[in-house]
């Protein structure tokens, strides 16, 4: 077994040996980097902030197509209606949603909905929910794409819906989204 000896050079008195810069230099460098990032991020066209929005939807089944099976009934429903957004904005709603009753008694629906606004902007969203018949159904909404002021939209939220009468639906949406600034 061999032994290695460490040879450490002796430092003269009054000299300091340091592998890192002094603390004030590190602090100043860090602040400069943070300031540069903060200033340049405000000029980035891709910079977005998440917006929380709430709205209510009222829709009805414009057309229904039933697909039967031994296990469950699938019903494709062309939904149309309107949306009232918290800040007083309105939109038209159109989409196809598939409603399913499962053997265990739960109801499910999923599909795609387009929201068309008066200024010509649109949002395409995927919706999905489930719950007991005649009760509130809870699910998600995911923003897929948008046009004009919603071009490049990303985000998601929760939905709560009720069907007081077959194919008439009332939905509340709480969602966060962002869209690149123009």
**Of 5 and 120, more confident:** 120
Of the candidates 149, 122, 126, the residue with the CA atom closest to the CA atom of residue 48: 149
How many residues comprise the chain? 182
Tell me the backbone φ, ψ of residue 126, rounded to 5 degrees. Answer: -100, 130
Tell me the per-residue pLDDT of 137-174, one tens digit each, with 9 for 90 and over.
Answer: 999 999 999 999 999 999 999 999 998 878 888 999 99
User: What pLDDT score was predicted for residue 130?
Assistant: 93
At a CB cut-off of 8 Å and minimum separation 6, what does 137 contact?
107, 109, 129, 130, 131, 160, 161, 162, 163
Q: Which two tokens stand for residue 51?
A: 């917006």
In a domain, 21, yes or no: no
Q: How confident is the model at residue 44 (pLDDT cuts 50, 70, 90)?
A: very low
Tell me the per-residue pLDDT of 65-84, one tens digit each, with 9 for 90 and over.
Answer: 887 666 677 888 999 999 99
User: Which position has the token pair 């998440």?
Assistant: 50
**Of 51 and 152, more confident:** 152
In a domain, 15, yes or no: no
- Give the separation between CA 156 and CA 109, rounded to whole angstroms: 17
In a domain, 16, yes or no: no
Domain with 86 in it: what CATH number?
2.40.350.10
Q: Alpha-carbon torsion 144, 147, 153, 155, what sign?
A: negative
User: What pLDDT score was predicted for residue 110?
Assistant: 94
Q: Could you list the residue range(s) of the whole structural domain that residue 118 is in?
A: 51-178
Which neighbouring-strand residues pair with 161? 137, 171
The answer to whether residue 43 scores a pLDDT higher than 50 is: no
């Amino acid at each position: 077994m061999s032994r290695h000896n460490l040879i450490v050079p002796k430092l003269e008195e009054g000299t300091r040996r340091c592998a890192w810069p002094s603390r004030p230099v590190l602090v100043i460098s860090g602040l400069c980097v943070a300031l540069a990032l903060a200033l340049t991020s405000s000029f980035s066209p891709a910079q977005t902030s998440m917006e929380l929005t709430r709205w209510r939807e009222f829709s009805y089944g414009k057309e229904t197509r039933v697909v039967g099976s031994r296990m469950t009934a699938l019903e494709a429903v062309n939904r149309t209606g309107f949306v009232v957004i918290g800040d007083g904005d309105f939109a038209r709603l159109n989409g196809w949603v598939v409603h399913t009753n499962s053997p265990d008694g739960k109801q499910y629906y999923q599909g795609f909905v387009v929201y068309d606004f008066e200024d010509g902007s649109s949002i395409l969203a995927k919706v999905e929910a489930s719950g007991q018949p005649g009760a509130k159904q809870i699910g998600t909404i995911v923003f897929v794409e948008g046009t004009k002021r919603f071009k490049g939209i990303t985000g998601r939220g929760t939905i709560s819906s009720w069907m007081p009468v077959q194919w008439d639906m009332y939905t509340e949406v709480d969602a966060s989204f962002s869209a690149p600034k123009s």
